[in-house]
Structure 1
């Protein structure tokens, strides 16, 4: 039997949602930073006469996301890679 009352639960849910909103804001900021860095790497690689993409590097990124977060992590990693590539 739980000793949490409905008003206590409602207040706690509100607090937790505020924490989630703060996490989301940080995630968005980090994704934007990552995209800018990725684009700069692509530009530098192209300016040096190389390809914009490194498939071996992308595989490393996907493996890291999958190891940490499972199948959905791999999907998240792929989404980030696609965002960072820009138009191919």
Structure 2
């Protein structure tokens, strides 16, 4: 889905007409018929894809490290969870990213420790 709410490359304008019929062929997947804009969109999306790959790798690494912390703590007689640590993480994400940060932190915590 693109930001306009429709599928990528849909080509429908706000009046319901097909943009490709009035403005020339649309560059596939960019939502624009303007070549310079289409090239810039492709360049930006390339960087977004790189960031996504990095985020996925970091997510997986973080989850593994978190599981290792939990296993080490429990093997030494400690508790499964340290709620003060989870609260610290939630607050860090909330203060930096707002309500969405809280949701992201909850997902990260769950990935590392599993559901409560």
Relative to the length of structure 2, the TM-score reads: 0.69
Asked whether 1:37 is paired with 2:65, we answer yes
Report what 1:56 is aligned to. 84
Report what 2:97 is aligned to. 69
Q: Residues 21-32 of structure 1: matches in 2 within 5 Å? A: 21-32=49-60
Q: How many residues align?
A: 84
The structure carrying a bigger helix percent of its residues is 1
Q: Aligned to 1:67, what secondary structure does the other structure show?
A: helix
Q: Aligned to 2:48, what secondary structure does the other structure show?
A: helix
Question: How far apart in 2 are the matches of 1:76 and 1:19?
Answer: 21
Gaps of 5+ in 2: 1-32
Choose 1 or 2 for highest CA Rg.
2
RMSD over aligned CA atoms reads 1.3
CA deviations over 1:36-59 (Å, ceiling 9, x no partner): 100000000100111121100000
Gaps of 5+ in 1: none
Larger RCO: Structure 1 or Structure 2 (Cα < 8 Å, ≥ 6 residues apart)?
A: 1
